[in-house]
């Protein structure tokens, strides 16, 4: 028995010691990752920046959690447009970096304007005399658009190019809801405000068809014109190729004949092309830099002169954090107002560039942000830089700016309001047999019950329409005040109509077509800055330690959400929208759909 206790005690001591040693090694590993992440990257001579386009390009990338990197679970498929553009600019200014190698893939861009900004940054890089080479096993349409700016575009010998134009079908759930006894009740202002149609119609309205065709043609025309200019072909030739289903060419050589590529190689052969550009021998190694490496390359231009704040406002506009959905980034009304008030009081900040990439959302939260921006503008100039979207509520928060700059393919406008409430009387009463009865001190004390469960609710719907009408008038006056127009002039181009920025320019919804850089230059001009200036990003990215401490719950949501996406496929979006409708503010100023460029 004595030996038994001796061995048990020895085992327990061994486990404790092993745990302590493992913990020490774990903390050393974490410290090593953190140190490596914060250390300045030294760029070797004759280096190449490698950009792999495989995943999702969002407006901004959050700081990675070192724990996931240690466990090999880091999500490398999420790329921030901000970090990509920053890396390209640093590469342009660093004399040791000779060129950029882009590897195309199945990349999804948050709107055509996101892809356009990447392409513009690469074109600016080339203007310095440095080279860009692109290669892919397969080019999806969005990636080919970005990569076509390269000096040379290459394709795998067994590869293909997806080039077919823009378009797609919207889903309509009305028939489904009819089967289960649910009917969506809509109150809206604006004949083009089509956000409600997916649950109130079984097909596309002519007004929605008109606006969709207009902005898709404008976006596609811009893409084709850019590709044609870079590849030395005509827009007519490219459109003919798209109509002829270029993606199913019989031979890879046909892509070269069509002018889309400069040659075809197997993956290992492309290395020799890069080595030739660098003047390296066959056995020499290529000095490569990733986006992560470039994040730690010193920026000599930073923190000199006056400060211009760049405030990132992207995602759906919601009232409170509890309204956030899955892992999507959101513009939280109360938090954004708090941030803007701090910027107004910060004397070091001479001007603010607000980067808006939002389809809108809660009309109430949008109006609160608008009010905070009006107060901020009284103290310093605000320039809005529009990203992929600045529509509906996204336009409302842009309207008070001193100046608005948008990419030509930015989706904007959609000045309209709607309310959407499901009526489940047929499901609950007719099918399930549930009835309602009660008392109320006043006539409309139980109006919500009537809206959702009563068949006789015309008066409640009428009052809800009045509320929506009031919201629309507020929206019109906000835009009129910010853009120097009359209420009637705004109404003429509003009514929920969606515009691409190139068409929004002549009707005064934007002031200039351009990039974030153009917006920053304008902000400096309006602030009267004659000397040097630098930019500082707001709000600050979540630190790795905050990510680490909050990772457990966040990771659960992320994992479940990703599994749902993979399982449901195209059904994921309509199901998620139905879930979101139950949580959203009843009064919405929201763009109805997303244009993902793949």
* pLDDT tens, residue by residue, 519-568: 999 999 999 999 999 999 999 876 555 555 544 444 444 545 555 555 55
| Mean per-residue pLDDT, 291-300 | 84
Q: Please give the torsion angle defined by the CA atoms of residues 229, 235, 237 and 242, in that order, rounded to the nearest 10 degrees.
A: 110
- Residues whose CB is less than 8 angstroms from the CB of residue 70 and which lie 6 or more positions away in sequence, other chains included: 26, 29, 30, 33
- Confidence (pLDDT) at 126: 96
pLDDT-derived band at 7 (thresholds 50, 70, 90) equals low
% residues pLDDT > 70 (the chain): 78
Cβ neighbours around 72 below 10 Å, total: 6
Read off the pLDDT of residues 321-336 as tens digits, 9 standing for 90 and up.
654 444 578 899 999 9
For 445-471, give one letter per residue: b (16+ CB within 10 A) or e: ebbeebbbbbeebeebbeebeeebeeb
Average pLDDT, the chain: 84
- Confidence (pLDDT) at 41: 81
- Confidence (pLDDT) at 258: 92
- Confidence (pLDDT) at 575: 54
- Confidence (pLDDT) at 551: 44
Q: Is the per-residue pLDDT at 491 higher than 60?
A: yes
Read off the pLDDT of residues 457-483 as tens digits, 9 standing for 90 and up.
999 899 889 988 998 999 999 999 999
Q: What's the pTM value of the predicted model, to 2 decimals?
A: 0.83
- Report how far residue 573's alpha carbon sits from residue 526's, in angstroms, rounded to the nearest whole number: 42
SS3 labels along 87-131: HHHHHHHCCCEEEEEEECCCCEECCHHHHHHHHHHHHHHHCCCCE
pLDDT-derived band at 221 (thresholds 50, 70, 90) equals very high
**pLDDT greater at residue 545 or residue 369:** 369
- Confidence (pLDDT) at 247: 61
| Mean per-residue pLDDT, 172-180 | 93
SS3 labels along 166-232: CCCCCCCCHHHHHHHCCEEEEEEECCCCHHHHHHHCCCCCHHHHHHHHHHHHHHHHHHHHHHHHHHC
- Report how far residue 384's alpha carbon sits from residue 388's, in angstroms, rounded to the nearest whole number: 13
Q: Is the per-residue pLDDT at 411 higher than 60?
A: yes
Tell me which DSSP letter residue 430 carries.
I
% residues pLDDT > 90 (the chain): 57
Backbone φ/ψ region at 168: left (φ over 0), alpha (ψ -120 to 50), beta: left
- Report how far residue 316's alpha carbon sits from residue 394's, in angstroms, rounded to the nearest whole number: 8
Q: Is the per-residue pLDDT at 586 higher than 90?
A: no
- Confidence (pLDDT) at 552: 43
Read off the pLDDT of residues 62-113 as tens digits, 9 standing for 90 and up.
655 444 444 444 444 567 899 999 999 999 999 999 999 999 888 888 889 9
pLDDT-derived band at 383 (thresholds 50, 70, 90) equals very high
- Confidence (pLDDT) at 71: 44
């Amino acid at each position: 028995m004595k030996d038994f206790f001796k061995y048990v005690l020895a085992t327990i001591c061994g486990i404790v010691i092993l745990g302590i040693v493992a913990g020490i090694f774990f903390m050393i590993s974490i410290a090593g990752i953190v140190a490596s992440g914060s250390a300045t990257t030294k760029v070797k001579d004759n280096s190449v920046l490698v950009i792999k386009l495989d995943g999702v390009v969002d407006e901004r990338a959050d700081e990675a959690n070192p724990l996931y990197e240690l466990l090999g679970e880091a999500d490398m498929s999420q790329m921030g447009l901000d970090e990509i553009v920053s890396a390209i600019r640093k590469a342009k200014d660093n004399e040791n970096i000779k060129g950029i190698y882009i590897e195309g893939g199945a990349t999804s861009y948050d709107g055509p304007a996101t892809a356009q900004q990447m392409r513009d940054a690469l074109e600016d890089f080339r203007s310095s005399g440095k080279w860009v080479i692109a290669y892919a096993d397969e080019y999806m349409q969005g990636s080919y658009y970005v990569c076509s700016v390269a000096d040379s575009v290459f394709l795998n010998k067994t590869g293909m190019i997806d080039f077919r134009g823009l378009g797609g079908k919207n889903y309509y759930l009305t028939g489904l809801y009819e089967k289960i006894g649910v009917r969506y009740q809509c109150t809206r202002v604006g004949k083009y405000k089509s956000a409600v149609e997916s649950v109130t119609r079984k097909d596309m309205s002519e007004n929605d068809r008109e606006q969709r065709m207009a902005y898709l043609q404008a976006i596609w025309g811009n893409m084709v014109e850019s590709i044609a200019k870079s590849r030395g072909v005509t827009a007519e030739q490219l459109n003919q190729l798209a109509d002829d289903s270029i993606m199913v060419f019989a031979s890879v050589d046909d892509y070269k004949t069509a002018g889309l590529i400069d040659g075809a190689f197997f993956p290992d052969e492309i290395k020799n092309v890069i080595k030739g550009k660098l003047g390296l021998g066959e056995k020499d190694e290529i000095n490569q830099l990733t986006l992560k490496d470039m994040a730690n390359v010193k920026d000599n231009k930073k923190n000199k002169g006056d400060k211009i704040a760049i405030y990132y406002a992207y995602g759906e506009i919601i009232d409170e954090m509890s309204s956030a959905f899955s892992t999507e980034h959101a513009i939280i009304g109360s938090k954004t107002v708090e941030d803007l008030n701090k910027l107004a009081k910060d004397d070091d900040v001479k001007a603010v560039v607000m980067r808006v990439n939002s389809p809108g959302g809660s009309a109430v939260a949008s109006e609160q942000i608008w009010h905070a921006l009006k107060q901020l503008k009284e103290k310093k100039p605000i320039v809005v830089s529009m990203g992929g979207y600045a529509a509906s509520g996204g336009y409302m928060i842009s309207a008070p700016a001193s100046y608005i700059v948008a990419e030509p393919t930015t989706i904007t406008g959609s000045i309209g309001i709607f309310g959407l409430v499901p009526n489940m009387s047929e499901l609950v009463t007719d099918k399930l047999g549930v009835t309602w009865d009660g008392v109320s001190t006043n006539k409309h004390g139980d109006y919500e019950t009537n809206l959702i469960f009563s068949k006789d609710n015309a008066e409640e719907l009428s009052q809800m329409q009045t509320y929506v009408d009031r919201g629309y008038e507020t929206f019109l006056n906000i835009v009129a005040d910010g853009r120097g127009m009359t209420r009637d002039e705004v109404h003429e181009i509003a009514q929920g109509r969606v515009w691409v920025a190139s068409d929004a320019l002549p009707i005064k919804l934007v002031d200039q077509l351009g990039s974030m850089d153009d917006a920053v230059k304008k902000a400096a001009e309006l602030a009267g800055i004659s000397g040097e200036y630098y930019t500082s990003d707001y709000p600050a990215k979540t630190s790795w330690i905050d990510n680490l401490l909050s990772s457990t719950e966040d990771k659960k949501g992320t994992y479940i959400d990703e599994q749902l996406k993979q399982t449901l496929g195209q059904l994921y979006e309509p199901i998620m929208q139905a879930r979101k409708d139950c949580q959203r503010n009843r009064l919405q100023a929201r763009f109805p759909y997303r244009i993902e460029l793949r």
